[in-house]
Amino acid sequence: MLYRLEIENFASIREAQALDLRIGANVPVDEDRFAEIFPGAKIFVPKVVAIYGANASGKTNVLLALEYIIGMAARISENGLKCIPFNSLEAMSKPTRIAIEFGGVMDPNRPELGDCGCYRYELCVQALSATGGPTIQTESLRRRPLGQGKWQRVFERDAQGEVKGSDVFPVQGFGHLVKTLRPDSTVIASFAFFKHPAASFFADAAQRAVLQNTVLGSADEHLVHKILSGQPEALAKLNSQLTRIDLGLEGMRYIQTSDGPQPLFKHFGLSEEMHWTLESHGTRSFIRLFPVIDAALARGAICAIDELDSAIHPLLLPEFLRWFLDRENTNPLNSQLWFTSHSSTLLEDLKKEEVVLCEKDRQGRTSAYSLMDVKARRDENLYRKYLSGAYGGVPLLG
């Protein structure tokens, strides 16, 4: 489970921001809403992280930063991932720093042992360099077995491209990988490309972290239909949910055409099946999201969705969140959902540990903080207090 995110000099986030989602030891543990950071740990984090704030407050940038660091570990090239520093002359000459802390297996070479603990992965990138492209200045992965003691090096990379390894991430014997390490690629992704065992373990873990920052657009519809038409079980689960959230829909099926699989929708009271273009925006948005959600729940991964309420009706959002909160049936692997939203009514269904707020000052700098940081009381009405401006993160008019 991901429990900490640090961001500095990324998009609208100029000053260092740290989101620590670890729940206090005195908080009653609800194992449906909260999960251990690793099996056997006594520290819990929320399985749902809702990010609120006014328009252009930087909510999306929090998800983009998370997508960037995990994406850079998962692949050898950026593939569209952008490292954008804060828009000022001073900031553009300084590096971007992003770090995450999460629970996991301690020995990547013998994961079957099941020994767990905490990891800290940090990436420092100079977006503007002499070569014109982004340059990784430093990169490090550290661990704390059982979440105790000092951080131990797994590997470190300095600004000169030197890499120091460890017993679980050997560099000796892999000198050719250090020599071919590109300044714009991470150690994890680059070494994994050449089958370094430990690097492959971490790169595979990053690739399993399903991250979908924006609602899938029309360009991705073909891929969505290809996935769903080839996975009968996923289609059956989707139909089960569609009949619950769309009162007039009996179900959908696929037919094969020269343009690939095409969905048809059967509605109560209508004699002919309807085509994709005739369905509502909300139904189509939900279908685009479903493969990402289903994959995250199946893998116990992260699912990040920008503006979730643009795809799901506000009255249906609590039901949607229950997929991630139902440990016994739909989320036994403790998948984590990160999403941005403007649906203030949803706050009535959230705990303070599950809410993050973003606020932007007059210089355009975003601050991000958990409701745990403002010491909101457990018995407070989060919906009313938020709309009153007591927590910040609301539009200021005039």
Instruction: Please report the pLDDT score of residue 302 as a whole number.
Output: 93
Distance of CA 342 to the CA centre of its chain: 18
Mean pLDDT (whole number) for 333-343 = 93
pLDDT in tens, 302-318: 999 998 887 677 777 88
Q: Are 198 and 168 in contact (CB under 8 A)?
A: yes
Q: How confident is the model at residue 76 (pLDDT cuts 50, 70, 90)?
A: low
Is pLDDT above 90 for 60?
yes
Q: Report the mean per-residue pLDDT for the chain.
A: 89
Residues 8 and 147 in one domain: yes
| pLDDT number for residue 114 | 82
> Which pLDDT score is estimated for 212?
67
> Do 148 and 255 lie in a common domain?
no
Confidence check: pLDDT of 156 > 90: yes
| Within a domain: 398 | no
Q: CB of 346 within 8 A of CB of 52?
A: no
Do 338 and 276 belong to one domain? no
Among 300, 325, 358, which residue terminates a domain? 300
Decide if pLDDT at 203 tops 80: yes
397 inside domain: no
Cross-strand bridge partners of residue 119: 102, 143
> Is 385 within the bounds of a domain?
yes
Residue 171 and residue 46 share a domain: yes
Write phi, then psi, for 116 (nearest 5 degrees). -120, 170
pLDDT digits (tens, 9 = 90+) for 268-286: 989 999 999 998 887 888 8
Confirm if 340 and 307 have CB atoms less than 8 A apart: yes
The verdict on 175 and 225 lying in the same domain is no
Domain residue limits at 292: 216-300
Contacts with 19 (C-beta within 8 Å, 6 or more apart), sequence order = 4, 5, 6, 62, 356, 368, 369, 370
365 pLDDT exceeds 90?
Answer: yes
Asked whether 194 and 264 are in contact (CB, 8 A), the reply is no
Strand order across the 135-145 sheet: 17-20, 2-8, 96-105, 116-126, 135-145, 152-157, 163-164
Residues 6+ apart with CB under 8 A from 370: 19, 20, 21, 352, 353, 355, 356, 357
Distances in whole angstroms, Cα of residue 162 to Cα of each of 127, 157, 170: 20, 6, 13
Contacts 24+ apart (CB under 8 A), 268-277: 276/221
Same domain, 289 and 238: yes
190 in the same domain as 118: yes
- Specify the pLDDT at position 73: 94
Each residue's pLDDT tens digit, 163-199: 999 999 999 999 899 999 999 899 999 999 999 999 9
Q: CA 189 to CA 203: how far, in whole Å?
A: 6
What's the predicted TM-score (pTM) here? 0.91
Backbone angles phi, psi at 110, to 5 degrees: -140, 65
Strands 302-305 and 336-340, by their bridges, are parallel
Residue 396 lies in a domain: no
Dihedral sign from CA coordinates of 315, 307, 289, 330: negative
Query: Is it the case that residue 77 has pLDDT exceeding 60?
Result: no
How many Cβ atoms from other residues are within 10 Å of residue 389's Cβ? 11
Query: Which CATH number is 188's domain given?
Result: 3.40.50
* Lookup: tokens for 386: 């938020």
Q: What confidence score (pLDDT) does residue 215 get?
A: 42
Q: Is the pLDDT score of 45 beyond 50? A: yes
Kindly indicate the confidence band of residue 253, based on its pLDDT and cuts at 50, 70 and 90: very high
